[in-house]
Amino acid sequence: MDSNFPPPDVDLHEDQASRAFHTFVRGARRSMETVVWDRAYRDYQDIVGGDTLTADEALPVLDRIPAFQTYAWLFRNLQRFKYTYPDWGIVSAAEAQRPKLEAALAAARERGEREGHLRLNTEIDYPDYYRHVDFHQHPGGVWSDPLDGLIYDVARRTTIPAHMDPDMIYRQLFASLPEGRKFERVLDWGAGHGAGLQTWMEAHPESEGHGIDLSAPCLIFAWKKAEERGLTPVLSQQDVARLDYPDNHFDLIFFVFMLHEIPPGPTPAILREVHRVLKPGGLFFGAEFRPPPAAGAFSHAMMVHSQWCNNEVYTPAYLKFPYIETAREIGFSRAEVKTFDRLARPQAPPRAGQEPAPVYAEFVLFDFEK
């Protein structure tokens, strides 16, 4: 370690005005998810009268409903404001602090590469499906600007209510793993900002932690944060379609919110690559979301449409992809996709005399064994 350790921090300074702005955005999202959603559901029911349509048929009906149009506008624009609203948006705030933040990240990169914890590939070939889509409206994608890892990390924390632990999803994912198994070598598959791998490594200091991602800015940020927490993962810039690990290498490959960002074309080859680098008996285990199966056409159509609004363009195909059949063909001995019980959200209480509106999404666990 450097003699001047701990190094300068890489946290975005948020003043009172920007905190108030993000509190407003969160509040508006909450209204969108409750009052506006509820109204869209009631108006839809008035037109359709029960769950008689398919999701594809429900969309043109929704399109005529003002509450649905309001919902779509809010979904698109609250996220956009969160990033780029002048002065208070995350990108705008980061821009104002760029020299200090870039210097801290560049120093972390130098240390990580020198110590062999960070392997960046300046020649990496970004797949077109990744390069051309600004997923979740992150301006320019999460890979094109040195501050993208930091911006991504602030964005994920401002999406959920302020009192909630943004790392809870990782804790609950790991708590859902089968008891009594040891995972000596572990890979965070699409590690992004790195919080998942750091949460794993703090709880399992005995295990060797690896993380991959296409985004160099994310990996550099993830290394910086790992350093601050006294952790030593091995992070490398790789495409999940072409991993440079040997066969039978990992006991556990985990992921959070990865599959819905990969289009169906390359998915079978990517799953084959997962299978190759897992040890026999190793687990591929991750969290995703879907409309609750019982929620019907309304929720399905609302999700598909709002995912389009948020530039999550592969979600509709992800929702239809036959993961279990594909996993079995590849040779996984077990493949299940099940409700992520630990993150199950309670249904909103019905208003007097009314059916409760269905919830937007449920979290699911992908649980595959080689």
Ligand X SMILES: C[S@@+](CC[C@H](N)C(=O)[O-])C[C@H]1O[C@@H](n2cnc3c(N)ncnc32)[C@H](O)[C@@H]1O
Task: Give the CA distances from residue 302 to residues 5, 75, 291, 297, in Å, rounded to whole numbers and listed in that order.
Answer: 49, 11, 9, 8
Q: Is 218 in the site for ligand X (CB under 6 A)?
A: yes
Q: Where are the alpha helices (DSSP H) in the chain?
A: 16-31, 37-48, 55-62, 66-84, 90-96, 98-114, 128-131, 148-159, 168-175, 195-203, 216-228, 267-277, 296-309, 315-320, 323-330
Query: Long-range contact list for 349-354, CB < 8 A, 24+ apart?
Result: 354/42
Residue with the closest Cβ to ligand X?
192
| Secondary structure (DSSP) of 117-141 | SEE--TT----HHHHT--GGG-TT-
- 3-state SS assignment for residue 37: helix
Listed ranges 24-32, 254-262, 302-310, 325-333: which one lies at the site for ligand X (CB under 6 A): 254-262
Task: Give the CA distances from residue 147 to residues 13, 96, 278, in Å, rounded to whole numbers and listed in that order.
Answer: 14, 12, 32
What single-letter DSSP state applies at residue 250? E
* Interface mask toward ligand X for 163-192; x: CB under 6 A: ---------------------------xxx
Q: Is 217 in the site for ligand X (CB under 6 A)?
A: no
- 3-state SS assignment for residue 369: strand
The residues pairing with 288 across neighbouring beta strands, listed in sequence order, are 364
Q: Is 226 in the site for ligand X (CB under 6 A)?
A: no
Q: Is 365 in the site for ligand X (CB under 6 A)?
A: no
How far is it, in rounded angstroms, from Cα 38 to Cα 236?
A: 44
Task: Evaluate whether 285 touches 338 at the Cβ level (below 8 Å).
Answer: no
Q: Is 273 in the site for ligand X (CB under 6 A)?
A: no
Q: Is 130 in the site for ligand X (CB under 6 A)?
A: yes
**Contact residue for ligand X among 90, 240, 303, 357 (CB under 6 A):** 240
Cβ-based nearer residue to ligand X, 95 or 134: 134
How far is it, in rounded angstroms, from Cα 73 to Cα 67?
A: 10
**Contact residue for ligand X among 151, 154, 214, 243 (CB under 6 A):** 214
Task: Give the CA distances from residue 273 to residues 47, 125, 176, 186, 207, in Å, rounded to whole numbers and listed in that order.
Answer: 47, 17, 24, 15, 22
Q: Is 213 in the site for ligand X (CB under 6 A)?
A: yes
Q: Is 295 in the site for ligand X (CB under 6 A)?
A: no
How far is it, in rounded angstroms, from Cα 142 to Cα 151?
A: 8
SS (H, E, C) 157-201: HHHCCCCCCCCHHHHHHHHCCCCCCCCCEEEEECCCCCHHHHHHH
Listed ranges 68-76, 105-113, 114-122, 250-258: which one lies at the site for ligand X (CB under 6 A): 250-258
Cβ-based nearer residue to ligand X, 243 or 295: 243
Q: Is 108 in the site for ligand X (CB under 6 A)?
A: no
Tokens 């019982």 belong to residue: 294
Q: How far is the CB of 197 from ligand X (least distance, A)?
A: 9
Q: Is 258 in the site for ligand X (CB under 6 A)?
A: yes
Q: Is 142 in the site for ligand X (CB under 6 A)?
A: yes
What single-letter DSSP state applies at residue 354? S
Q: Is 44 in the site for ligand X (CB under 6 A)?
A: no
Listed ranges 3-11, 20-28, 214-222, 345-353: which one lies at the site for ligand X (CB under 6 A): 214-222
Cβ-based nearer residue to ligand X, 213 or 251: 213
Q: Is 149 in the site for ligand X (CB under 6 A)?
A: no
Q: Is 257 in the site for ligand X (CB under 6 A)?
A: yes
Q: How far is the CB of 65 from ligand X (least distance, A)?
A: 30
Listed ranges 6-14, 49-57, 236-244, 300-308: which one lies at the site for ligand X (CB under 6 A): 236-244
Q: Is 366 in the site for ligand X (CB under 6 A)?
A: no
Q: How far is the CB of 137 from ligand X (least distance, A)?
A: 12
Q: Is 267 in the site for ligand X (CB under 6 A)?
A: no
Q: Contact residues for ligand X (CB under 6 A)?
A: 127, 130, 142-143, 156, 190-192, 196, 212-215, 218, 239-241, 256-258, 261-262
